[in-house]
Structures are given as C-alpha cells and as structure tokens.
Amino acid sequence: MSEELETERHDVNDQGRRPPRAVVGSHRIEEDMFGRFFDGRVISRIWEFVHPYRVKMFIAVAAVLVFTGTQLLIPLIIRYAIDNGMIAGTVDQSALIWAVAAFVAAILINYGASYLQEMVVGQAAENVLFDIRRAMFEHLQHVSLSFMDKTEVGRLMSRLQGDVNSMQEFLETSVISVGDLVLLFGIVGVMLWLDFRLGLLTLSVLPVLFIVRVFWLPRARAAFMAAHETNSVTNGALAEAIHGVRAVQSMDRQQVNFQLYDDKAHANLKTHLTAAKYAQVMVPIVDTLTGGAMAVVVVVGGSMVLNGGLDVGVMVAFLFYIQRFFDPIRSLTMQYSVMQRAMASGKRLIDVLDVRVDVQDAPDAVALSKDMDGSVEFDDVTFGYNPKQPVLKNVSFRVNPGETVALVGPTGSGKSSAMALIHRFYDIQQGRVLVGGHDVRDLTQQSLGEQIAMVLQEPFLFTGTVFENIRYHKTDATMEQVVEAAKAVGAHDFITTLDGGYDAMLGERGGNLSLGQRQLISFARALVADAKILVLDEATANIDSYTEMLIQKALVRLLEGRTGLVIAHRLATIRGADRIIVLQNGQLVETGDHDELMDMGGLYSKLYNLNYASFDDIPDDELTAAAQSHSTT
Amino acid sequence: MSSAAQSTARGRPDSITHVRNADWGQGFNTLVRITRMNLRHPVQVTIAIVATFIAASLQLWIPRLLGEAVDRTQTVLTATGGSDTQSALATTAIVLLTVSILRGLFTMLQNYYAESVGHHIGYELRLAVYEKIQRLSFSFHDTVHSGDLITVGMLDLEGVRMFFSTGLIRVVLLGVLIGVGAYMLLTTDLVLGLIALSFVPFVGWRAPVTRLRLRATWLELQERLAVLSRVMEENLGGIRVVRAFAAQKHEMDKFDKASGSALELAHDRVGIRVRNTSIMTFSFFLSMALVLWIGGQKVISGEISVGTLTSFLTFMTILQMPVRQLGMMVNAFARASTCGTRIFQLLDLKVDIADKPDAKDLDVSAGTLRFENVSFAYPSAPDRAVLKDISFDAKRGKTLGIVGPPGSGKSTIAHLIPRFYDVTGGRITIDGQDIRDVTLASLRHAVAVVQQDAFLFTTTIENNIAYGDPWAKERRIANASDSAQLHNYVMGLPAEYRTIVGERGVSLSGGQRQRLSIARTLMLKPAVMVFDDSTAAIDAGTEQRIRSALREYARDRVTIIIAHRLSSLMHADEILFVEGGEVVERGTHDDLLALKGRYAALYELQVRPGDEMLEAGE
Ligand SMILES: Nc1ncnc2c1ncn2[C@@H]1O[C@H](COP(=O)(O)OP(=O)(O)O)[C@@H](O)[C@H]1O
Ligand SMILES: Nc1ncnc2c1ncn2[C@@H]1O[C@H](COP(=O)(O)OP(=O)(O)O)[C@@H](O)[C@H]1O
Ligand SMILES: [Mg+2]
Ligand SMILES: [Mg+2]
C-alpha cells in the first residue's frame, strides 16, 4: 500500500471528522502506466496477432503513403495553377484546366486512400483486439488453478479490457503516424527542394521546439501519470462501492464513504486540470513558432520575390506547408505517449499469455472412454501446493467401480485437495492417481472432466435461466433430464414457483435465490452431467439436515452404477457409505466400512462414540484428545 | 423519455441497460441537459467561448495577412520603391507573428477552459453517481448487473464529460470559422465565397444523420460488450466450476458468440465513421477545386488578384482540420447523447427505500423488536409471496432462533429488519416505532446483520473490522476480534491487523471470513443483532466459544440466530420453524421436541444418525 496516494484534501479542514481507519477502494498502484518507448519483445509478440492481417496492414500503409502524397501534392498543384495558369489576361486556359484536373484527380485519390486506410486499419485493429482478447481468454481456460487461485478477477478483467483497448488505440494510430512521419519528411523535403535557402531558414525554428520539449516532456509526463493514477484509484473506489453496496448500506457507511470518495474524485479533478495545463501550454509555443516561420517566409521570401529570386507561387506553397507542418509534429507527440502506454499494456498482455500451463495433456494422451469402469485409485500419492509442504503424504486407496466412499477428517486434513487431484487440477509430486485404470497424466483433461462431476462447496451460478444453469455445458440435455435432476435434489418445487419456472432468469451469480437453493441447483447440475464418477465436496453445508437427508436418499438411487466420492460431516451420510476413508493431517489413518471401523476402535470409532451429529460439531479439544489417544494406542 | 421514466418508476431499473428508441427527442433532451450542466460553470464557459471566438477570428485574419503579403510582392513587380514594400512586408510579418502568438494564447485558454468545464462536470457526475449507487436499495442492485453499473460510472461518464470540449466548443469554433469566414469571403467576392462554402449544406445535412446512426450503433454495441464482459467475468469468477465440468469448450463457445456479435457491430461503427469522415472531407476538397477553377478564371480575367485567391485558399486550408474533425464532433454528439441517457436514467431513479420527510431517529428504550403479520414479496417477483403473515416478538436479552429448509424465507426475515426491503404487508416495529417511520441511518445503527456470504473490503483486517465504526480505538477492535475467535489467528500473521485481505477476501478460508464478519458486526453495538447462517463454515467448538464470549454482549440486545446446526440455537428463548414463508412451529427447544413435529424430526436426524431415522423421515 503506498502512502502517496492518500489523497487528503488540503482545502477542506475537517481533521476532527475524518475517520482514522476508513478508506475506500484499494490503494494499490500495481502497474506502470508507461513502458519503454520501444520494446522489441512486446512488438514481436503483438506482431503475431497482426500477422494474419498483414496484407491489410500493408494495404493500409500503402494507402497512407498515397494519402500523404496527395496531401503534399495539393499545395504544389495550387502553386502550379498560380504560377502558370493565372497569368492575367491570357486566353489559353489549358494550364489552369490541367491544374484543376490534377487537383480533382488528387482529391479523388485522397478520398479513396483515406477511406481505404481508415476502414482497413479500423477494422483490422478491431479484429486484432478481439483476437488478442480471445487468445488471452482461451489461455486462461488452461492455466493451472494455482495461478487462478491467487489472481484477482478484477485484475484479469482489466487486462482483458483496458490493456487490450490501449493496444487497439495504438494499432489504429500507428498507421496514421506512419503517414505523419512521411508527411513531415515530405514537407521538409519539398520545402528544401522548392527553395533550399528559404527552406533552411524556415526550418530553423525547429530546434527551438525541441529544446522546449526537452524541458516540457518530463514534467508533462509526470502530470499525465498522476492523472492516470488518480483516475484508476477513483474508478477502483467506485467499483468497490458497487460490489460492496450491501455491506456499505448495512453498516451505514454511506456518509463516510462519500466524503472519502469526494477526496479521491477531487484529487482526480486536480491532477487532470494540471495535466490539461501541461498539455495546453504547448499550443501557444507551437503557434508562436508557426507565426515566426511564416514571418520569415513573408520577409525573406517576399524580398526574394521582389528581387525576382523566387516565384510567388513558391512563396504561397511555403505558406501552405508551414501551416500543415506542425500538425504531424503535434500528433506524433501524442502518438509517443500512446506508444509508451501500449508498450506497458502489451507487456501485461504478454504476461498473461505467458503464464505457464503447468498441467498439460501429454503428447500421447488418450481419451478416457465412457465405458471405463469408474474406479479411482491413489497409489502412494504425495502432493503439496508448495512442494516443500505436502498436504497429502503417501496416500493410497482404491475405490472400486460402483462403490460409494466417504472421506472424513478434520478441516484442513486434505480431503478437498485429494478430490482436486482426481480431476488433475494439480499435478502430484510422487505416486500415481488412476481413474478407470489409467494414470490421469496419460488422459486428456477434457475426457477426464467429462467423466467426473463435482459439486463444490461454493455454489457458483451463471447469468442465464435455471434450465441453462442446470444443464450447463451439456447442451444436449433435455428438459426431462433437467427436471428429473431437479426433482432428485428437491429443487423442482421451488423452481416451479419462480416466475417463468425453469426459464426464470437468475440474477448475478444467482442472487435472487437463497444460498441453499443455489446449492441445490449446483447439485442438480452435477447430476445432469451424467458422469461415471460423482464427487461431492461438502455440498450441503447451507442445507438443513432434513433436506440433506432427502438428497442422500435420492443419491442412493443416482449413484447406482456410478462411483461416488463424498466428503461429508454428518454421520448419517457417512454411515451409509460402502466404505469410509479417514484422513488426518494429509495421511490416511483408517479405511473400512462403518462396522469394521467401529470394531477397529481407532479415530473413527472414538469420534463416532462421542455422539456428535457431525465431525464438525466436535469441539477442538475433544478432537485433539481423541486423536492423541488414537495415536498413542 | 416517458417509457423510460415509467419503467423506472415501477422499479424496473434493468431498463438502464436497455435504452432502446434511439430517437431524436430523447437524445436531444439529453444533450440539452448536459449543456445545462455545463452552463452551471458560467465563468469558465464564458472564457472558453470568448477565447474560441477570438482565437477563431485571429486565425481567420491570418489568410488575409498572407494574401496581403503575396499581393505586395506582386505589386512591386510592376512598380518601383522596393524599400517601401520591404518595410510593408516587415510590418505584415510582425502583425502575422503577433496574431499567431495571440491566437496560440487564446486557443490555449479555449482548450484549457473547455477541458476544465468537462472535468468539473465529470467530478460532479462522479459524486452524483457514487451517491446514487450507494443509496439505491437492494432491490435495484438485485436486478442490475454490477458490470453494467461500472460501465455507467466509468465509460458513460467519460462520454458526457468530453461533450463540452470535443462537441460543443467545436461547434462554436466551426460556427465562428464558417460564419465569420463566410462574411469575409462573401464580402470579398460573392460568387467565389458561395463556391467556397458550397460544402457546408452537405455537411450540415450529413452530420446529424450520421449522429443518429452512430448513436443507435453505439447503444447496441455497448450492450453487446456488456454481455461479453459478463461472460468473461463469470467465467473467471467461477473458474473452478468451469474446470470441474471440463466446460472450457462450452465457455469458449459462449465467448465466441458474444465476442463475434460485438465485433460485427464494432466493424459497423468503424464503417459508419469512416464513410462519414471521408465523404465530408471529399465534399470540402471539391469546393476547393471549384474555387481554384473559378478563382483562376477570375484572376485571368483580372477580376481578383492572386492575393485574394491565396487568401481564399488559405482560408480553406484553415477549415481543413475542423472539417476533418467534424467526424469526431459528430461522434462526440452521438456518444454524449448515448452515455448521457444512460447516466441520467440512473441518476433519475427514485430511491424506493428512503427516509420519510418527517422521519425521526429511532428511539430505542425497552429494545423490543416486533413483527406484526408481516408478509413480503421481492420487488422483482411481486406475485410470489416469500413471507406470509409472520408475527413474533423479540425482547432485549433474549434470543430468537429460526430454522427451516432452503428458500423458506429465513434470510428474507433478516433482510427486512434493517429495511433492506420494505414489507408488503403488516409492519415491523422497534419499541413501537414502525421502522418505515424512522431514519434509515438510525435504524441501521440499531440493527446489525451478519450476512450469510460476507463481502470483505480490500483493505487491512483492522479496517475491515472497524468498517462500521471507523473511529474505533485499537483495543475495541482487538476485543471484537477476540470475541469472534479471530484474534489468535490474526496475531499469527506477519502483518497482524495490518494484513490486507484480498478481493472479496479470497485469501481467507470460509470460516475465517465468517469470523471476520462477526467481529465487524460486534463493533456496531446494535440493539438487534442477527446471525444469518453465519457459522456454517465454523466448527461447532469455535462457535461455542464465540457464543460464550458473546453472552455478556447479548444481555442488552436482541439476538436472532438463523442456523442449520441445531446446537447453535437450541438454547434460544424461542425457536421458529419456517417453511414456505410461514411459521409452522414455534416454542422453546423442549416445547418443540414435545410437539414431535418437524423440528423434532430434524433434531433426531442430527443427534441420532441411524438408519432408523431415514425411515422416520419418510
Ligand atoms: N488452493 C490452495 N493453495 C494453497 N494451499 C491450499 C489450497 N487449498 C488448500 N490448501 C491448503 O491445503 C491444506 C488441505 O486443505 P483441504 O484439502 O482444503 O482440506 P479439507 O478439505 O480436508 O478441509 C490446508 O492446509 C489448506 O490451507
Ligand atoms: N433478491 C431476491 N429476489 C427475488 N427473490 C429472492 C431474492 N432472494 C431470495 N429470493 C427468494 O425468496 C425465497 C426465500 O429466500 P431466503 O429468505 O433467502 O431463504 P432462506 O430461508 O434459505 O434464507 C426463495 O424462494 C428465494 O428464491
Ligand atoms: Mg474442503
Ligand atoms: Mg438464507
């Protein structure tokens, strides 16, 4: 957290009222606004995306050159017309006719070229933008969950939107700035060609401009940067207010937050005004130089014309060019900061594209067939999110086809982690995880995922109808199948009371349902997936015991012919399982069915005999006592 | 206007994202309103406009001066007296330089003040949007996607902000250039002047037509982009679900569909813009060609001098930039009217839960909360009764427990007490005062709800705990955290209370998040405290310790506990069993057991996990 962004306002003195511990928005400046001006790596990576449109880009550059050429040509034609076509009193108008014809030809070409260039570039830039975004999004579908675990959605979204947009801006303007550059050199060239001495004299104002810029640039950059930063800080605070509005209202923080936000918005205003000052101060300087250059042409060029050393048409052309001369300089300056911004954005985009995909299909991976037996086996598995701190240690067990196995154990013992491994969310450090007799590393992740359905503790739903949510990606599921699954988990009744029934739209993340209802829907979703293996990870935490029991009973039927792995706490659920696996501190301590475990007299029987409804209900101390007595016996 | 106003009045704020009817009227009204906002900064607006006038006039003077200079060189060719002309040229040059400098200075003033007006409006709008979003009730936020609000508050706001500098001022500038220029040209040479200006009617017809088309495209594109960003955001937020179902392909399909339809429109937009800019520029050049042709002939016939023609042509060069920018100007108008419509629609929404005009602060004396025949339906589904005729009393120092199946209305009861929603029948009172008659601020200080899924702010743990009372002393924070059984955990962290918790508190486990949310609520010293299933992820032992730590605290307030784990609420003074929005059983734990109804069945299920119970449940 950086202190300099504590944007306190100095023009309001309310030290007494400002709460010491209140902030809005997170004050993190994580990213550089400006990258290096030129970063070869970024350019070459971005070029990959431009590559498919290279023909269009070349056409566009060609069009820009033609366009610039006509721009340069127009004053020349005028000069020709004045010098040759307008000799007062002549009858022969052919020179004038030629000049006008040339002019019309030039503007037609100008029209065509500018149309072509802007259209092609504009659309190609949109295409590139969408392609980059797609590539990033697709990549994010495959990067390992350990990356996703620690990366905020908001940050990824700002990559997918803001950064991609500034690349687009860059692409669009870069072709134009090719034109600007050509125009600039073209004008210089033409002026020198028309009259070398007058040209040099006119250009002598340029060094002044560069000296001024040297002093101006660092300050202006700092001012622009400050404006950009306060802007993102303010926007961040707004986003927080939107996401957290319920918490804000329930704790009645509106007033305090408004005041804090006002500070930020005001700082934003001030930095923007400063930035505007810096941007605008260049205007009179450039205009003064333009005026100076024109004055030079009038005085020097004028006397040259007087002496007969210069055609008046040349002088007119000079005056035209001078007025057009500073436009490209101005827009190139702007392009400079666009380019820097684009480099910074490009680097961030590449960072995302280059996130390593740790868990990848082997080159010779096979698809897990739908007819596999559904067995799951852990063979001496050791795994840790951080390899130095194993979460599972030498765990071995086998779940036979069609069996339902309960995993029990205290919080943090590694149950969820074990389930994640079946799906190969992470790769293990030692041993093997087998599904249907195949090492999961030899299978394609897609086919593996299709054969495993999971119900996660957090019931995440998508915007869309209830129907779409339940059948999720199984788009060939029929309404009957969906209704059957909903009935099985006891969700049918409430769904039919919704306005629109199965076609009722869910709010953001299912917000118009109660948490328990969301859990039921996510349950139904897993059933519709119709997979060989069903994994339930504490899927019933926000559901009352009675409803849970109904689900359990439905499950007995649904699990017929399937393999079930159930993480649960309530002993009723556990007792019904074919087999129970007890985990503790990442180690498998016991396994067997209820009666066997009771006879064994180990941790499970001790816990069971404590007579709590659920392992979660056992107070820590009793649990520790049981565990200790277990390990000492 | 009218249809939008109606739908918002009925509390259907989703129209925010569905501004249809890109009709003249609505867009025009929006622009008028933005202009009025600008006029609230009269000094700056005046400076900007006056500066624009001066700068534009000075700029128009330049061609005259250049023409003069050219003419001087011409006259001398035939006459004598070079030094006279020399000094005349020098004078012209000095005037030229002075005019350029002044023009630069006034352009600077014009640009700066135009931007300044825009930034001031941006600032005002930011505050207004923020304030509105904070005040709009839950039912609004239930129906509007947060991403759409963010778009309004960031992108739409920019569109409105830039209107003055990129739209209005340019109109003034172009008006002055063309107006004054027209006067000068027409008085110099009527025919040639008319020809030079012949592009104006075409542009004048073309610009508004394009504006309308752009606006319509813009509105539609905005919507499609919103869908795209929703697809991406949900995918990333629910990435575990996506992976668990191996649904990457499905998600890519969704993405491609959303992305493709947005891209199509983005192309359209580029097309409209480019067609417009190039045709306008072309028409302009065409008039220039005519000037050259006819002007040339006039020079030949001696009607006008080369200098006059030069000044005509220079004048047209001056117009070249603004004409090219005309496209941008049209864009700015289209954008401002689109964005403005969306922003104003948000700002004009009625806040349906607000203080009554004569509302007084809640006066808590005995501290009794009372539901009197309360019924309720969510505003988004007004025909679906969620609560029916609920009545109960909860007294200070007493605990009320609520159990029931999912969707029975337990959380809804919790939401009604702090008036997150207003009841649709009956009333809720605290010490006899209807909660709709007291100020919201005082009510929400008196009622605290620990939510089922708590939102944590991205800041330090300390700031999160003190969220409701940012003036709190460190000791109190530590105490609250200790009562919530969080203190020991926090002290084990490297930065202790200054540890930042991530976006939505991702770096904390579910149980820790719930404990933090409890600690945060304890800071509030409310008269009514509601725990909405807020211990589901906390093990029973820890929960037990939290309860005993709170025993003292609960003595002078009403406590309501919603839970699935009966051990959490079996000591309550009264327990309600809710189902389908109705209280089906009520009494103490023992009463309810004796009743041998649903509660008893639930209890049996939880304590006697046997097969026999499975049968009993049937
Ligand atoms: N995504 C993750 N990244 C790093 N560590 C994790 C992650 N998920 C779980 N852990 C750690 O792994 C251990 C086992 O967790 P978990 O498998 O979730 O246990 P259980 O499901 O039995 O409660 C815990 O110490 C937990 O902190
Ligand atoms: N924001 C909302 N908008 C519309 N309906 C809602 C909303 N929140 C909940 N509901 C509906 O109201 C009913 C009661 O929900 P709730 O009170 O959350 O149940 P629970 O008893 O599980 O806490 C459910 O049928 C649910 O679908
Ligand atoms: Mg777990
Ligand atoms: Mg609830």
Mutation for testing the A interface, residue in B61, B156, B285 having most A CBs under 10 Å: B285
Cα(A335)–Cα(A337) distance, integer angstroms = 5
Answer for the pair B547, B555: CB distance below 8 angstroms, yes or no.
no
Domain ranges of chain A: 37-195+334-358, 196-309, 376-631
Dump pLDDT digits (tens) for B233-276: 888 888 888 888 888 888 899 899 999 998 998 888 888 888 88
Cα(B154)–Cα(B430) distance, integer angstroms = 40
Answer for the pair A131, A314: CB distance below 8 angstroms, yes or no.
no
Residue A44: predicted pLDDT: 84
For B486-510, what is the mean pLDDT? 72
Number of cross-chain residue pairs from A and B with Cβ atoms under 8 Å apart: 507
For B60-77, what is the mean pLDDT? 72
Residue B614: predicted pLDDT: 42
Residue A426: predicted pLDDT: 87
Dump pLDDT digits (tens) for B5-53: 333 333 333 444 444 444 556 778 888 898 898 889 999 999 999 998 8
DSSP state of A504: P
Residue A633: predicted pLDDT: 41
Q: Is A26 on the interface with B (CB under 8 A)?
A: yes
For B415-443, what is the mean pLDDT? 90
Which of A56-65, A490-499, B50-59, B72-81 bottoms out in mean pLDDT, i.e. has the lowest?
B72-81
Residue B502: predicted pLDDT: 63
For B582-609, what is the mean pLDDT? 82
Contact B567/A617, CB-based, under 8 Å? yes
DSSP string for residues in A325-354:
HHHHHHHHHHHHHHHHHHHHHHHHHHHHHT
Residue A37: predicted pLDDT: 57
Dump pLDDT digits (tens) for A209-229: 888 888 887 888 788 878 878
Contact A156/B289, CB-based, under 8 Å? no
Contact B405/A545, CB-based, under 8 Å? no
Beta bridge partners, A521, equal none
In the three-class reduction of DSSP (H, G, I as helix; E, B as strand; rest coil), residue A554 is classed as helix
Residue B175: predicted pLDDT: 82
The complex scores an ipTM of 0.85
- Report the percent of chain A where pLDDT is more than 70: 86
Ligand 1 residue neighbourhood (C-beta within 6 Å)? A 149, 385, 391, 409, 411-417
pLDDT at B152 over 80: yes
Which residues have C-beta within 8 Å of that of residue A442, sequence separation ≥ 6? Answer: A362, A364, A365, A366
pLDDT at A611 over 60: no
Residue A433: predicted pLDDT: 92
Answer for the pair A551, A566: CB distance below 8 angstroms, yes or no.
no
Residue B498: predicted pLDDT: 81
Q: If pLDDT is split at 50, 70 and 90, which confidence band does B278 have?
A: confident
Q: What domains can be seen in chain B, in order of their start residue?
A: 15-347 (1.20.1560.10), 369-611 (3.40.50.300)
pLDDT top residue among B454 and A248: A248
Q: Is A450 on the interface with B (CB under 8 A)?
A: yes
Dump pLDDT digits (tens) for A138-186: 998 888 887 777 777 777 777 787 778 778 778 877 777 777 888 888 8
Strands (E), A475-626: 505-506, 533-537, 563-567, 579-584, 587-592
CATH T-level assignment (fold) for domain A376-631: Rossmann fold (3.40.50)
Mutate which of A146, A148, A385, A428 to test ligand 1's pocket (most atoms within 8 Å of Cβ)? A385
**What does the block give as tokens for B609?**
């996990």
Residue of B119, B121, B133, B168 lying closest to B335 (CA atoms): B168
pLDDT at B396 over 70: yes
What b/e sequence results for B360-386 when a residue is b if at least 16 CB atoms lie within 10 Å of its CB, and e otherwise?
eebebeebbbbbbebbbbbbbeeeebb
Residue A334: predicted pLDDT: 66
Residue numbers in B near A618 (CB within 8 A) = 539-541
Residue A624: predicted pLDDT: 62
Residue A344: predicted pLDDT: 74
Residue A272 CA from chain centroid, whole number: 26
CA distance B519 to chain A (A): 13
- Closest residue to atom 3 of ligand 2, CA basis: A512
Rg value, chain B, Cα: 36
For A489-515, what is the mean pLDDT? 84
Which residues have C-beta within 8 Å of that of residue A375, sequence separation ≥ 6? Answer: A398, A399, A400, A401, A434, A435, A436, A437, A563
Give residue for tokens 């992108």: B155
Residue B10: predicted pLDDT: 34
For A306-319, what is the mean pLDDT? 78
DSSP state of A368: P
Contact B246/A281, CB-based, under 8 Å? no
For B519-540, what is the mean pLDDT? 82
Length of chain A: 633
| Ligand 3 centroid distance, CA of A603 (Å) | 19
Residue B566: predicted pLDDT: 78
In the three-class reduction of DSSP (H, G, I as helix; E, B as strand; rest coil), residue B187 is classed as helix
Q: If pLDDT is split at 50, 70 and 90, which confidence band does B453 have?
A: confident
pLDDT at A286 over 50: yes
Residue B43: predicted pLDDT: 92
Q: Which amino acid is at A400?
A: N
For chain A, the average pLDDT equals 80
Cα(B260)–Cα(B254) distance, integer angstroms = 10
Residue B80: predicted pLDDT: 52
Beta bridge partners, A580, equal A406, A592
Which residues have C-beta within 8 Å of that of residue A348, sequence separation ≥ 6? Answer: A31, A159, A163
Contact A306/B244, CB-based, under 8 Å? no
For A65-94, what is the mean pLDDT? 77
Class of domain A37-195+334-358: mainly alpha
| Ligand 2 centroid distance, CA of A511 (Å) | 9
What b/e sequence results for A567-595 when a residue is b if at least 16 CB atoms lie within 10 Å of its CB, and e otherwise?
bbbbbbbbbbbbbbbbbbebebbbbbebe
User: Of the segments A348-352, A563-567, B72-76, B539-543, which one has the largest average pLDDT value?
Assistant: A563-567
- Closest residue to atom 17 of ligand 2, CA basis: B409
Contact A268/B126, CB-based, under 8 Å? yes
- Report the percent of chain B where pLDDT is more than 70: 90
For B345-357, what is the mean pLDDT? 87
Q: If pLDDT is split at 50, 70 and 90, which confidence band does A2 have?
A: very low
CA distance B546 to chain A (A): 12
Residue B376: predicted pLDDT: 93
